[in-house]
Amino acid sequence: MNKDIQESNPYSGEFILEQLQRFGSDVNRKHEVSFWLYFPNEDSAQRASRRAASTGLKPEVSPPLKDSDDSLWLCLLYCPHVPDEGLLDGISQFCMDLASEFDGKYDGWEASLELEDGEKPTMPSNVTAHTSRGAASEAVQG
């Protein structure tokens, strides 16, 4: 992939690793990385969930929020691994393809911050990038 494009892609493995490191996470430790996909109905979300599960990802499907105008179903995919650029690139591409196949939208990722033993978090406990929030990357209290 072209380095200029990859640096500006908030879904690339390189970008995810850079953001984890930026907030002090030890990228040699196992992280819980979640990938957020939205679908127009439960059937699409469940079908995407089953496909993701068959690849080893851990899916969780949730209905639209009751007090929201948004009627999209969330399919959250969990990947508990030591973050690796190639693995994250592959999962991000899989998410884009999965969303496209089932008329959904890949909205972004979130990852836990894993500090070295004994370190206390000074800021966030998670790093996230969601396109619907308009942020390429932000730290959030978890």
Contact 109, 18 (CB under 8 A): no
Summarize pLDDT for 14-49 with one digit per residue, the tens: 999 998 998 889 999 999 999 999 999 999 999 999
Start-to-end Cα distance in the chain: 33
The band of 1, judged by pLDDT with boundaries at 50, 70 and 90, is very low
Q: What is the CATH number of the domain that holds 9?
A: 3.30.70.970
State the pLDDT at residue 141: 43
**Structural domains in the chain (count):** 1
The band of 78, judged by pLDDT with boundaries at 50, 70 and 90, is very high
Distance (Å, rounded) from C-alpha 10 to C-alpha 12?
Answer: 6
Give the tokens for residue 27.
């990228």
* Domain span holding position 87: 3-140
Distance (Å, rounded) from C-alpha 56 to C-alpha 120?
Answer: 32
Please tell me the pTM assigned to this model: 0.80
Amino acid at 54: S
